[in-house]
Structure formats: structure tokens, C-alpha cells
Structure 1
Amino acid sequence: MNPALATVWLTLAIQLKTLAEQHSEEFQRRQGLTRGLYESARMMLFKNVRE
């Protein structure tokens, strides 16, 4: 992985953690929504195959 890209990802991860700590209730609510979107997209990717 490109070192500059790794630095960007690390910075984003730190910012997300800080944001989650500041707004923990909202973060928890949206985490469930985000997980649902992720799982739906995954299902569509793997189950939407022509036979």
C-alpha cells in the first residue's frame, strides 16, 4: 500500500473515532443503518447473478 494513502486512512480512522466519541448516541444509531446498507449491497452483489 502506498505510504501516503496509509497515512490518509489512519487520519480518517482517528477522526472517525473522535467523532464517534463526541456523538456516541448518533453514531450508534447510524452504525446500524450503515451496516444494513452494507449487507444489502453485499447481498445484491452475490445474489444478483444470472443463472
Structure 2
Amino acid sequence: MTYEMKMREAHDDGKEENRVETALEMLKDSMSIDKIVKYTKLSKERVEELASQIKG
């Protein structure tokens, strides 16, 4: 894997982490899963998984 590929992968990982953090905050504020999916671009399944983690 080239340096450029590693940097791109790290950047993508950071973007995903930010989306997850945003989704968690939105879930804590009782926002609907559909809105969270719309604004974070995470899959519905991923948001539902995060929601179950908060409730559990």
C-alpha cells in the first residue's frame, strides 16, 4: 500500500468516526433515525446499531 493510499484511508476513517459521533449526539437528542441517516449519510442499519448501544 502506498503512502497516498494510507493517507486516504486514514482520512476516510476520520470522516466515518465524525459521522458516528454526530449520530450518537443526535440519538441522545432523540432525533429520528431517518433524519440521522439523511444528515450523517450512515446506513440505517448502522444508526440502529448505534441506537441499541445507547439503550443497552
Larger Cα-atom Rg: 1
TM norm structure 2:
0.44
Which of 1 and 2 has higher RCO (CA within 8 Å, sep 6+)?
2
Higher helix share: 1
